[in-house]
Structure 1
Amino acid sequence: MGFQAFVMSVLLLVGCSAQNEPPAEPPASATDDVTVADVAEDDAQVIVMLGDSLTAGFGLPDAAALPSVVERKLTEAGYEVEVINAGVSGDTTSMGRARYNWSVASADPDIVVIALGANDFLSSLPSSLARDNLSALIEQSQQDGIEVILAGLSPRFEGADNSLEAEYAAIYPSLAATYNVPLYPDLMAGVWNTPSLLLGDGLHPTAEGVEVMATGLLPVVISVIEAD
């Protein structure tokens, strides 16, 4: 699909979230959704998925959201894991960075999947800002002893002749190489161009689409689990 189609696809990532930066501490009403309420089993690997509406499960029940499906598939494959949904519709990299302590570090996870940046582009924020925020998230995670998987949300910038488009397209592979972290370049691989895997808005994945997304992401997650 072309770049304009991609832009239309991620417009709804903004969802209904406010555009103001979130507080560094969670509002009381948010803690149940994006922080750890229960302690994982002693032997379970904890994975946090930090992202926007594609992580949060826009328009789907909790059990059909990407983190829940990834957890189910990993469990079926014989891995003892807890996958925590730290997705918030509309989040920019700044917003994800602001809530790192209470939506990622508070879980004391083994792995974090960082899937942010599309909303920065849609807001025409400088690519340097998104890069700096993603860099800070990766660095803080690594300092905290958390393995990082970087998930690209802007996989196809076809004919990117606009400088901002090209700058954003380069962020993810560059950061993956700089910090030596695994890159999953296309979180919606196999779903973007398949209408039957999209909700009625034609943009967000159906439950079946999320199954495809999870299947694609799974080998990267397993490789990190097994490397520990």
Structure 2
Amino acid sequence: MSAAIAGAAGLAGTQAIAQKSPAASSQTVLVVGDSLSAEYGLKRGEGWVALLEKRLAEQKIAARVVNASISGETSAGGRSRIEALLKQSKPDLVVIELGANDALRGLPVAQTQDNLAAIVNAAKLVNAKVLLVGIQVPPNYGMAYLNSFSKVFSSIGTLSKVPVVPFMLRNVADGPDAATMFQADRIHPVAAAHPRILDNIWPELKKLLLK
């Protein structure tokens, strides 16, 4: 698997980015993620979350998007923030895009699964719909770790009964033009990759919005 797949990891960064539709809306979508959702290395408005806002407007789906993603975020960080985020934004739908930094650092898979499950459950407790966005990682820590990590998202989806996007970087990290889809650091996707990321996430997200 190419080093580009490690692009899931979003290493550096310090602040969350919030994007909200100025118009009144009937639903609120909260995105809790890492650098892949925080527009790391991009101009504001080029990331998949910003593109999501545009698509919602184009398809006349009344919703606002709150992007609470932070570059470098881990599942533990998301777990520590989720209750405050839920209280503040009162979302109808929570998109969880975390776990890649856990894998890059070789953190215990059971710990990652426990943290992500807790975030999912916290969202469900306030009656928010949930979409879990998955990632795949290279075998830096061996095939046993890779195989164990690869089951985390589907396991949570089954146990918590929430939909899962298996691999948000499909056709980005594993496509024929993967070498051109990442920034100079070979970690973070370029702007041209983000429409593909949105296309990977959109089908399940739209189902929840229209449910």
Question: Which residue is equivalent to 2:51?
Answer: 69
Question: Which residue is equivalent to 1:140?
Answer: 122
Unmatched 5+ stretches in structure 1: 18-29
Question: Which residue is equivalent to 2:188?
Answer: 204
TM-score, normalised to structure 2, is 0.88
- Cα 1:123/1:186, change in 2 over 3 Å: same
TM-score, normalised to structure 1, is 0.82
How far has the Cα of 1:197 moved from its partner?
2.9
Hey, which of these two has a bigger chunk of helix by percent?
1
Q: Structure 1: which amino acid aligns with 2:69? A: G
Question: Which residue is equivalent to 1:9?
Answer: 7
Q: Structure 2: which amino acid aligns with 1:122? A: L
Q: Distance in 2 between matches of 1:149 and 1:77?
A: 20
- Cα 1:46/1:137, change in 2 over 3 Å: same
Q: Is the 8 A contact 1:35 1:104 kept in 2?
A: no
Q: Is the aligned partner of 1:189 residue 2:189?
A: no
Identity %: 25
Question: What is the correspondence of 1:153-172 to structure 2 with a 5 Å cutoff?
Answer: 153-154=135-136, 162-172=143-153
How far has the Cα of 1:40 moved from its partner?
6.8
Question: What is the correspondence of 1:115-130 to structure 2 with a 5 Å cutoff?
Answer: 115-130=97-112
How far has the Cα of 1:215 moved from its partner?
2.0
Q: Distance in 2 between matches of 1:71 and 1:162?
A: 38
Q: Distance in 1 between matches of 2:64 and 2:115?
A: 26
Other structure's SS at 2:132 match: strand
Q: Deviations over 1:201-222 (max 9, x none)?
A: 3332222211111122111111
Unmatched 5+ stretches in structure 2: none
Question: Which residue is equivalent to 2:41?
Answer: 59
Q: Structure 2: which amino acid aligns with 1:92? A: T
Question: What is the correspondence of 1:15-164 to structure 2 with a 5 Å cutoff?
Answer: 15-17=12-14, 33=16, 41-154=23-136, 162-164=143-145
- Cα 1:145/1:202, change in 2 over 3 Å: same
Aligned length: 207
Q: Is the aligned partner of 1:176 residue 2:157?
A: yes
Q: Distance in 1 between matches of 2:191 and 2:142?
A: 35
Question: Which residue is equivalent to 1:27?
Answer: none
Q: Distance in 1 between matches of 2:126 and 2:98?
A: 19
Q: Structure 2: which amino acid aligns with 1:207? A: A
Other structure's SS at 1:148 match: strand
Q: Structure 2: which amino acid aligns with 1:163? A: A
Other structure's SS at 2:60 match: coil
Other structure's SS at 2:131 match: strand
Q: Is the aligned partner of 1:226 residue 2:210?
A: yes
How far has the Cα of 1:7 moved from its partner?
5.8
